[in-house]
Amino acid sequence: MPVEITWWGHATCTVRDSGVRVLTDPLFVRRLAHLRRRRGAVPPPEAAEAEAVLVSHLHADHLHLPSLARLAPGTRLVVPRGARRAVPGLGRLARTRGLVVTEVVAGEEVRVGEGIRVRAVSARHDGRRVPFGPQRVRALGYVVEGAARTYFAGDTGPFDTMAEETGPLDVALLPVGGWGPYLGPGHLDAEGAARALARLAPSAAVPVHYGTYWPIGMDAVRPHEFHAPGEEFARLAGVLAPKVAVRVPAHGERVRLP
C-alpha cells in the first residue's frame, strides 16, 4: 500500500499510511510575526485532522500553539523531550484541548493506531524556543513506519550519521530552504538536501520547508531563495540520486508514493 503525502506548505505535511494520518509541524496561519504567507492558501480545517502530530523542534514556525489548538481532543502530540518545560503554554494547551503529549529523544519510539510506529531520530538544528528562556531542547526528525518508511527530517543541517539513524527508507521529506533570503547553520539548501538524499537512498522524496513564508517587505531580496528550491532540488537529485523519484507537489496537493 503506497503512502500518501499532502504538503500544506512550509514544514507541514500529512503522512497517511495504513489509514493513519500523521501531521508534521502544523502551521495554519497567514502571518506569523514578521513572516507573511506568500504562496498557497491557509490550510483548510481538515488539515488539522490527524491521529498523531509530530513536532520537530520548538521554533515558533514549527511548534505553533494557535495551530495546535485546532487539533481534536485525544490527538497524540509527539514533541522533543523538555518541550513542556521550555514552552509552558504547551502544557496549558494540552490540558484545555485534551491532547496527549509524549516527549521523546532520538532513538525512542511511539505507537500510533494499528501498525504505525514513529521513531525519533537526531537532527542538527538549534531546537530552543528563541528568544524565551535559556532552556535548550534538542531538535528531532522522525521516521514513520507502517506500510512504508517515511522520514520527516524537520529542520536540520547535514550530519554523518543521518542515513545510519534513519535506516532503509521508502520516502524522505527533506527541507530545501527556509523563510528568508539567507539560510544560517543547521539547515539544508537544495544542494545540501540532494546530497543528503544520495546518502539516504529512499525510493521517493518530496521537498518541503520552502516557498511559503517570507519576511514582510523583503519580496525583492534574493527572490530565487523563495521560488526556486523545490525545482532546484529535483534537478540536483536527478544528478546526485538518479534512482530516487522526486515529486514536487503544489501547496495542498496530495501525492501517492513510492
Q: Whole-model pTM above 0.85? A: yes
Express each pLDDT in 28-67 by its tens digit.
999 999 999 999 999 999 999 999 999 999 999 999 999 9
Express each pLDDT in 169-194 by its tens digit.
999 999 999 999 988 888 999 999 99
pLDDT for 1 beyond 70: no
pLDDT for res 2: 87
**% residues pLDDT > 90 (the chain):** 89
How do strand 31-32 and strand 20-24 relate by DSSP bridges? unpaired
pLDDT for res 142: 98
